[in-house]
Every structure is written in C-alpha cells, then in structure tokens.
Amino acid sequence: MTLRKNFPVALNRDLGEGAYNKGLKALKAVDRSHVRLSDPRLCHGSADIDTRLAAELPHAARWDYVVAHDNQLHFVEVHPAHTSEVSQVKKKKEWLTEWLRDSEVGRLAADKRFHWIASGKIAITKNSKQARAAAQMGLNPIRLLTL
C-alpha cells in the first residue's frame, strides 16, 4: 500500500471520521497562505490535528497540521516566532512526538519532517539560548513552506 492510500485511513483512525481532507483543505485559510505546493498532484491530503483533538485533549500543547506530500509526512505548526514562544513550540513538538508513538499516522512508512512557520515576523534573538533550542529541535522558523 502507498502513502496515498494509507494516509486517509490512518487519519480517520487517529482523529475520527472526516479528519482527512484533499490537498491543503484542512489548513485554515490564513495558514494555507504560508504553504505552497510545487506540484499539487503530489499532495496526498492533510488534516488539522489541533482542531480534531481539541475536545479530547483541551489542555495539551497540540501540533497544528499534517500534510502528506510526495511520500513524506510534513508536520506543520503555524505559530508566532518570537524568542518568548520557543518554549511553547518545544512543548508542542514534544507532544507531537509522544502522539506519533501511539498513532497510526506515526507508523506510516514515510519520512517525517517538522516545520515551524512564523505566523508573523520572525523575532528570535540570534545567539540566544532560545535560538539554540529551536535549532536543536530542527525547528528554525520560516515564513513560507514550499513542498
């Protein structure tokens, strides 16, 4: 089976029926403007993890989205990119890592990539401990994600 076929099934098991969306439709319009597809035919769909799990896990530091594209899973967090927000994004990445251990999506045979997209200006002080923490997580914020 391919990611194109397995991704919707895994999402519906993990997040409930209807979690899977074609293309980037799961992303809120304001967030979708931060993601570009070089070839939309390679996009296998998306899901809004945060919204789907909000009622079940209201106090968790939930990650925003997952997008399956060209046999890769891209986990996307659209979040302010300020020095003071690095610790919050770190909590979200830790939550996502835990969630992936027990989820069907986490068991899919695909490379997993993690992206922090700045919802506004990137304002993380260079050479700060927060900048180093973001780099250690592999999450240097970007303004636009091109897949």
pLDDT in tens, 18-75: 999 999 999 999 999 999 999 999 999 999 999 999 999 999 999 999 999 999 999 9
Q: Under DSSP, is residue 114 helix (H, G, I), strand (E, B) or coil? A: strand
Kindly report the three-state secondary structure assignment for every residue of 17-80.
CCCCECCCCCCCHHHHCCEECCCHHHEEEEEEHHHHHCCCCCCCCCCCEEEEECCEEEEEEEEE
Residue 56 is predicted with a pLDDT of 96
Q: Where are the domains of the chain?
A: 3-146
Q: Under DSSP, is residue 112 helix (H, G, I), strand (E, B) or coil? A: strand
pLDDT in tens, 68-125: 999 999 999 999 999 999 999 999 999 999 999 999 999 999 999 999 999 999 999 8
Q: Smallest Cα–Cα separation from 122: which of 95, 90, 86, 98?
A: 86
pTM above 0.75, yes or no: yes
Residue 1 is predicted with a pLDDT of 58
